[in-house]
Amino acid sequence: MLLVDYRAGSAELLAPLRKMGLPVERGDILADIAFEGRGEGGAPVMVGIEFKKLGELVQSLRTQRFQGHQLLKMRDSFEFCYLLIEGELHYDTRGHLLRRRGRREFQKLPGSMAVGELFKRLLVLHLRGGCNIISARTRTDSLRWIEALYRVWTDCDLDQHKSHIAIYQAPTLAPVSEFRAFISRIDGISLRKSLTIEKHFGGSIRRAVNASKAEWMKVEGIGPLIAQHINDVMEGRT
């Protein structure tokens, strides 16, 4: 369940998020959006998202309200904190931040902040403040980011995500199946051996990824050492 703060600003996200089919309710929370996610091993973790338009963020950084008040409360309440910034990024030749006044007309953004200063502040908030920064150009982008964050944290346990694991191998001269191309990227698995493995797992990459060491040892030509190596690769330990 996504909780959206009832106050102005974040409240305007309620209807469009609900229209996207997300489970949304209004609440009184210490962020603009909050929900419970699934950490490693399924442990519950609280995720908080602070939503700010670019001009609002600059003012908040200038007055130190965000870093000296809002972020401190978020860190006390959430294991994972996000700052979602919405707005077009424009600046002049001297680096001064601008806001659009018309199709081709701009003026300086209140707060007298240069783009370099903004970037450095955001990097420090991430590196030292424990705040993950996300930039969205439009409202549609913001909504998609919120949906993605919710899905990533609730679709499965944190340690079950595999998108960060990849095995690269240059393309083969002869076309092979997606399964064989994937498996043959593992050190010690030749293209010829990948055919035997493909037959064993019925061409299912999911079955191969989730297979135990014992299951791999049932494949013809796979001994305990190779089986352990494959298992380590699939689990992201190498």
**What are the structural domains, with CATH classification, of the chain?**
2-160 (3.40.50.10130), 178-234 (1.10.150.20)
Which one, of 40, 58, 29, lies nearest residue 160 by Cα? 40
Structure tokens at 39: 């950490």
Other CB atoms within 10 Å distance of the CB of residue 175: 8
Q: Strand 90-91: give its sheet, edge to edge.
A: 90-91, 97-100, 106-108
- Per the structure block, which two tokens stand in for 149? 């964050």
- Name, in order, each residue with C-beta under 8 angstroms of 89's C-beta and a sequence gap of 6 or more: 54, 97, 115, 135, 137
Amino acid, res. 39: G
**What predicted TM-score, i.e. pTM, was given to this entire model?**
0.73
Which tokens is 129 given? Answer: 């403040």
pLDDT tens for the chain, 238 residues: list them: 999 998 877 889 999 999 999 999 998 999 999 999 999 999 999 999 999 999 999 999 999 999 999 999 999 999 999 999 999 999 999 999 999 888 888 999 988 899 999 999 999 999 999 999 999 999 999 999 999 999 999 999 999 998 887 766 666 666 788 899 889 888 888 888 999 999 999 999 999 999 999 999 999 989 999 999 998 888 776 6
Predicted confidence at residue 9, as pLDDT, reads 78
Amino acid found at 36? E
